């Protein structure tokens, strides 16, 4: 049985909430139960943003995550805050293009990936979070690359389908950082 949870966190405007939604969409495409729950309220504007995504074979209980399998962070305050939310054996992924971080926990897998550099190289900053989803997919198998691709075709309006190859490229580059 799969019962998988991931927290994505960073500054508002980095595409955290949409990346979380894309992960949920990809898992939904596989027929999984999914939930997506955002931080909401005053911190939405300019401050930190985060969302919790749960993927499961069974109906989902709480969409709020206490023990995450994976935490993906695009800023330092989020890494400091959410490192503690990981299960033993969980995975912490950070965008090492943006900040340096030294985990205090020794019972987790730590992945530093230059997500923003990958995005800059590909010419679209929105690809930073997409590359991190690639890493997530490869590292955990919580959804497949094929489902991600199908979900993109389903969710993006037709006029934006031309962006899909770029998205997949970012996804693949991110996958290389899986351990």
Partner 1 sequence: MAQKRVLMKGNEVIAEAALRAGCRNYFGYPITPQTEVMHYMAKKMVQIGGNFVQAESEVSAINMVYGAAAAGARVLTSSSSPGISLKQEGISYIAGAELPAVVVNIVRAGPGLGGIQPAQGDYFQATKGGGHGDYRNIVIAPASVQELYELTVEAFNLADKYRMCVMILGDGTLGQMMEPVAFRDVEPIEVYEKPWACTGRGERKEHNTVTSIYIDPDVLEAKNRELQDKYAVIEKDEVRYEAYGLEDAEIVITAFSTCSRISKNVIRQAAEMGIKVGMIRPITLWPFPSKIISDTAAMPNVKAFLDVELNAGQMIEDVRLAVNGQKPVYFHGRMGGNLPTQKEILDKIIEIHNGGNN
Contact residues for partner 1 (CB under 8 A)? Answer: 21, 24-25, 28, 33-38, 40-41, 58-64, 66
Which C-beta is closer to partner 1: that of 31 or that of 89? 31
Which C-beta is closer to partner 1: that of 66 or that of 106? 66
Which C-beta is closer to partner 1: that of 59 or that of 89? 59
Token look-up 């959410």 returns: 82
Which C-beta is closer to partner 1: that of 59 or that of 123? 59
Q: How far is the CB of 63 from partner 1 (least distance, A)?
A: 5
Q: How far is the CB of 4 from partner 1 (least distance, A)?
A: 14
Q: How far is the CB of 118 from partner 1 (least distance, A)?
A: 26
Residues 6+ away with beta carbon under 8 Å from 144: 26, 30, 137
- Residues counted in the chain: 179
How far, rounded to the nearest angstrom, does the alpha carbon of residue 48 sit from its chain's CA centroid? 15
Which C-beta is closer to partner 1: that of 58 or that of 107? 58
Query: In 3-state terms, what secondary structure has residue 51?
Result: strand
Taking alpha carbons only, the member of 56, 55, 50 closest to residue 71 is 50
Q: How far is the CB of 173 from partner 1 (least distance, A)?
A: 26
Q: How far apart are CA 48 and CA 126, in angstroms?
A: 17
Q: How far is the CB of 3 from partner 1 (least distance, A)?
A: 9
How far, rounded to the nearest angstrom, does the alpha carbon of residue 155 sit from its chain's CA centroid? 17
Q: Specify whether the CB–CB gap between 170 and 130 falls below 8 A.
A: yes
């Amino acid at each position: 049985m799969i019962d998988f949870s991931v927290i994505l966190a960073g500054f508002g405007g980095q595409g955290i909430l949409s990346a979380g939604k894309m992960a949920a969409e990809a898992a939904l495409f596989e027929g999984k139960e999914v939930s997506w729950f955002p931080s909401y309220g005053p911190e939405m504007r300019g401050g930190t943003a985060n969302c919790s995504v749960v993927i499961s074979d069974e109906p989902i209980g709480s969409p709020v995550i206490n023990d995450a399998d994976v935490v993906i962070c695009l800023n330092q305050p989020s890494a400091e805050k959410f490192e503690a939310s990981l299960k033993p054996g969980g995975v912490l992924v950070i965008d090492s293009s943006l900040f340096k971080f030294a985990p205090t926990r020794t019972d987790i897998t730590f992945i530093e990936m230059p997500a923003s550099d990958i995005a800059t190289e590909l010419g679209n900053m929105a690809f930073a979070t997409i590359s991190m989803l690639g890493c997530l997919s490869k590292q955990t198998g919580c959804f497949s690359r094929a489902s991600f691709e199908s979900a993109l075709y389903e969710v993006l309006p037709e006029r934006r389908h031309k962006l899909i190859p770029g998205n997949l490229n970012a996804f693949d580059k991110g996958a290389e950082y899986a351990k």
